[in-house]
């Protein structure tokens, strides 16, 4: 697995929840999960390419966002 280390500073407060504790309340992580960052990048990609959803069969899409081998 490759790792990219960087610092990310938010302009507004952020609630990054985890699956701990009472299911009726949220416990915030002390970090921003990678899945949340990937989701934000995918959202920008969709907006930039004027798409409403990803074509998960597309090899380029798989390579960009989901292929852990590269």
Burial 4-23 (b: 16+ CB within 10 A, else e): eeeeeeeeeeeebeeeeeee
Under the phi-then-psi rule, with left for phi > 0, alpha for psi from -120 to 50, and beta for the rest, what region is 50?
Answer: left
Domain residue extents for the chain = 17-65
Which residues sit opposite 27 in a β-bridge? 18
**pLDDT one-digit tens code per residue, 6-56:** 888 889 988 887 766 666 777 778 888 888 899 999 999 999 999 999 988
pLDDT-based confidence at residue 3 (cuts at 50, 70, 90): confident
**pLDDT one-digit tens code per residue, 5-20:** 888 888 998 888 776 6
Nearest to 37 by CA among 65, 70, 68: 65
Task: Indicate the pTM of the whole model.
Answer: 0.70
């Amino acid at each position: 697995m490759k790792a990219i280390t960087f610092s990310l500073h938010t302009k507004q407060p952020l609630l990054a929840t985890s699956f701990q504790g009472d299911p009726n309340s949220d416990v915030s992580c002390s970090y921003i999960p990678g899945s949340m960052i990937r989701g934000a990048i995918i959202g920008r990609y969709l907006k930039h390419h004027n798409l409403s959803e990803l074509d998960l069969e597309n090899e380029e899409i798989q390579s960009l966002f989901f292929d852990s081998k590269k």
